[in-house]
Amino acid sequence: MKAKVTATARYLPERVLTNFDLEKMVETNNEWIRSRTGIETRHLVSEGEATSDMGTNIAMQLLEKTGKSPEDIDLILVATSTPDYLVCATAALIQNNIGAKNAWGFDIAAACSGFIYAMETGTKMVESGRYKNAIVIGADTMSSIIDYTDRNTCVIFGDGGGGVLLEQSDDEIGILDSILHTDGSGSQYLNVPAGGSAHPASKDTIENRMHYVHQDGKTVFKFAVKNMADVSKQILDQNNLTGDDLKLFIPHQANRRIIDAAAKRCGLAEDKVLININKYGNTTAGTIPIALDEAVETNRLQKGDLLLLAAFGGGFTWGSMLIRWGDA
């Protein structure tokens, strides 16, 4: 038995922040941002809008597209680095909001690799035969942890998310393989220093702006370029595949140069790589499911096509997933 994707959905907040808007906020310019990241615009939540609100919208779309009732859902997994609360999973809030009274769930914190981690978790639970309908969501409200006086981070990130419904499959359609990695020695290079048990909120942590994302950009970039490319090539090799066998590659949308390096390593032509970082920036756990829903909407995936997902994130975390597409 396999797990297959039977529906996709995405949500982007209405508010848009352009590079020209950022020029008025920090010392940067449109050309600098575009040439180094490929980003032109990003979406931001409205006041009072949180990760659970985005996730609820996504989950309701999945129910509508598949004709499922909330009671049909067995499991809800939410990949996020920006939960509504530290204590109380965002998955629980979404479960309550949609009325999925038979479902249980939890959050997964793996930064930008979170959606692939959640997909692997959901896949194994569906493959066990115990769970028939699992909602897997990747969503982040990055604006809640971004310092908009720091030009090195505020130009990169946006808010948004997406998700899928996983169901059982008795044929060759579904999730075929995955490779996941963690290297905790990289935790110092990309994190939010305060707000957890290591550095609880205090006057000092607030004054020192420790509740925002901090990153060593050069170190993260170097690690991401190598490892996302490596793990993409590795999963093809272990399945005796080449880039020619793929219909589409959906990489994490962190930086155009990182995406290009991974595509080149796999020998992929540009028309086989889905890139939307220019529109949304880096939505962390949201990038891959947002792109996946766009691919479905624009008919870039047909039944039987091979799809490759790959991501890299703080932790460090990284991974790839190979999917034989169905009728979603």
Hey, which residues are catalytic here? 112, 252, 282
Q: Omega of the bond prior to 316 within 30 degrees of 0, cis?
A: yes
Phi, psi of 266 (to 5 degrees): -90, 0
CB 108 within 8 A of CB 117: yes
Burial class (CB in 10 A: 0-12, 13-18, 19+), 103: buried
CA dist., res. 216 & res. 16, Å (int):
26
Residues pairing with 138 in the sheet: 79, 162
Bridge partners, 318 (sequence order): 181, 312
- Do 253 and 277 meet the contact criterion of CB atoms below 8 Å apart? yes
Alpha helices for 42-135 (secondary structure H): 51-66, 90-98, 114-127
Closest by CA position to 7, among listed 94, 68, 52: 68
Calpha distance 217→214 (Å, rounded): 9
Is residue 243 within 8 A of residue 266, CB to CB? The reply is: yes
Contact present, 212 and 153 (Cβ < 8 Å): yes
Tokens of 9: 């959905």
User: Which amino acid type is present at position 92?
Assistant: A
Residue 137: phi and psi, rounded to 5, are: -125, 140
* Distance, CA of 77 to CA of 163 (rounded, Å): 10
E strands within 152-218? 159-169, 174-182, 190-191, 214-215
Cis amide leading into 223 (omega within 30): no
